[in-house]
Amino acid sequence: MRQGHLQAGARAPTVRALAEALGVSAVTVANAYRILRDRGLFMTDGRRGTTVRSAPPLLGRPALRFPDGVRNVADGNPDPALLPSLPATLRRIAYEPVLYGRDPEIPELLELAAKRFAANGVPWTALAIVGGALDGIERVLAANLRPGDRVIVEDPAYPAYLDLLATLGLVPEPVRIDAAGLMPQELRRVLDRGVRAAIYAPRSQNPTGAAFDEERCAALRRVLAKRPDVLLIEDDHTSGIAGVPYRTLVEGREKFAVVRSVSKVLGPDLRLAFLAGDPMTVARVRSRQHVTTGWVSRMLQSAVLALWTDPAVKAQVERARDAYARRRSAFVAALAAEGIETRARSGLNVWVPVVDEEFVVRALLDAGWGVYPGSRFRIASGPAVRVTIARLDPNDAVTLARVIASTSCPTSFVRST
């Protein structure tokens, strides 16, 4: 593998064949293969036998850089104008130095988080504070799965999920989605492949803006009821500004985690999220946190507590929710006026199906617009571009939709995914 003779995806020799070629016992070769699997270099792939895994990314997918003057509608960021003022909040926090051995979490903050989870029907029995949504997801996966295990992801998927799974040596199993999220018949098919966990967004799905409705949620619960052993991880990263109700699949589950970040609502630099789940899952997260980072800064916790309990901030979050809904609706309507069907129902992003996404990306760049190609997100789904609507004025939405229509021959979202 180091010399390049075994490339990613290549089938390794059988244990017996390699043992005979090297003149060693089959037990020795089997142990070596096990070590390579544990280190994420080999994977067992059913009838294909043992294959070489692609090298995990060290830095993930870098953000695209656009020339000066290009409108960035690609980055997935919230609108800074709709975020609360952090400097003003920090100035009024009464802070005392926190030393080792002190309780790591602010009880009042945990109590507020618990009330919010309970109000949305999340059947939590334990809570933890983690350093952002992906930090929580990584800790849940690392504590419960092993290299080679299969994990359900949406297709198209949030790229950070795919990078994280690759880094942990886990195998993504894509499930197609439509405007209501995971498709039940596709989920049923993938569950039969022996998956151990599933990561998904119940609303504001990135990149499509899909969101569960009551009918889809009920159908997915029926499918999942046959596999109570599968660990469900819900990423509710836009709680407060999603624009649609929260609907969960974790009710009655033995193993689950629901992660809620504050980054999209209060600011990306607030690296803090709340993790609710069953006692064992949360205990494992806390144990790994204790021996690594120790705790999430109480300065950050104090800032979030101050923001959450400020009536002015609550009103601002509601204004942000309504503003994002108007901008999303305006862009979807502008696309529809150009004959482009898309089904974004929540969140900050819209998935626009096209025929040749690389051509569309270049044409939009020439016209002064920067978008992400769908290849960053999709596994088996059709070509598209992702547009972030967070800072897209409704008047500009019409202009952008016209430019997209002039450079592409789109298909519908449902057919493309």
User: How far, CA to CA in Å, does 227 sit from each of 10, 221, 230, 232, 250?
Assistant: 32, 10, 6, 11, 12
Considering 261, 276, 309, which residue would you say is the last residue of a domain?
309
193 domain-assigned:
yes
Residue 60 belongs to some domain of the structure: no
Residues 321 and 302 placed together within one structural domain of the fold: no
Taking only the tens place, the pLDDT of each residue in 347-406 is 999 999 999 999 999 999 999 999 999 999 999 899 999 999 999 999 999 999 999 999
| Residue 266 · residue 304 · CB < 8 Å | yes
Positions of E strands within 308-377: 349-353, 369-370, 372-373
β-sheet with 384-388: strand ranges across: 349-353, 384-388, 372-373
Q: Do 190 and 45 have their domain in common?
A: no
The answer to whether residues 174 and 303 belong to one domain is yes
Domain of 225, CATH number, reads: 3.40.640.10
Residue range(s) defining the domain that contains residue 279:
94-309
For the cut 50, the answer to whether the pLDDT of residue 411 exceeds it is no
pTM of the model: 0.85
CB of 154 within 8 A of CB of 175?
yes
The verdict on 197 and 283 lying in the same domain is yes
Q: Which CATH number is 320's domain given? A: 3.90.1150.10
335 and 301 in a common domain: no
Question: For residues 69 and 82, what is the distance between their CA atoms, to the nearest angstrom?
Answer: 23
Tens-place pLDDT, residues 136-147 = 999 999 999 998
Do 371 and 269 have their domain in common?
no
Does 163 share its domain with 263? Answer: yes
Residue 41: which pLDDT band, with cuts at 50, 70 and 90? Answer: confident
318 inside domain: yes
At 22, which CATH number? 1.10.10.10
Where does the pLDDT of residue 409 fall: very low under 50, low under 70, confident under 90, or very high at 90 and above? low
The percent of residues above 70 in pLDDT, for the chain, comes to: 94
Domain count, the chain: 3
Write down the pLDDT at residue 22: 94
Q: Are residues 168 and 282 in the same domain?
A: yes
Is residue 58 over pLDDT 80? Answer: no
Say yes or no: 326 and 228 in one domain: no
If we measure between CA atoms, which residue out of 303, 354, 288 comes closest to residue 109?
303
**CB burial readout 139-152, b (16+ within 10 A) else e:** bbbbbbbebbbbbb
Is 86 part of any domain?
Answer: no
In terms of phi and psi (left: phi > 0; alpha: psi -120 to 50; beta: otherwise), the region of 83 is beta
Note whether 320 and 349 are same-domain residues. yes
Q: What pLDDT score does 241 carry?
A: 97
**Element containing residue 43 per DSSP (H, E):** strand 42-44
Cβ within 8 Å of residue 334, ≥6 positions away: 397, 398, 400, 401, 402
36 is a domain residue:
yes
Mark whether 351 and 373 lie in a shared domain: yes
* 64 part of a folded domain: no
Q: Residue 154 carries which side chain, given as an amino acid letter?
A: E
pLDDT tens per residue across span 233-279: 999 999 999 999 999 999 999 999 999 999 999 999 999 999 999 99
Give the whole-angstrom CA distance, residue 199 versus residue 201. Answer: 7
Report whether pLDDT(412) > 60: no
Could you please report the per-residue DSSP string of 107-129?
HHHHHHHHHHHHHTT---SEEEE
Give the range among 219-233, 276-290, 399-413 with minimum mean pLDDT. 399-413
Q: Is residue 62 part of a domain?
A: no
- Average pLDDT taken over every residue of the chain: 91
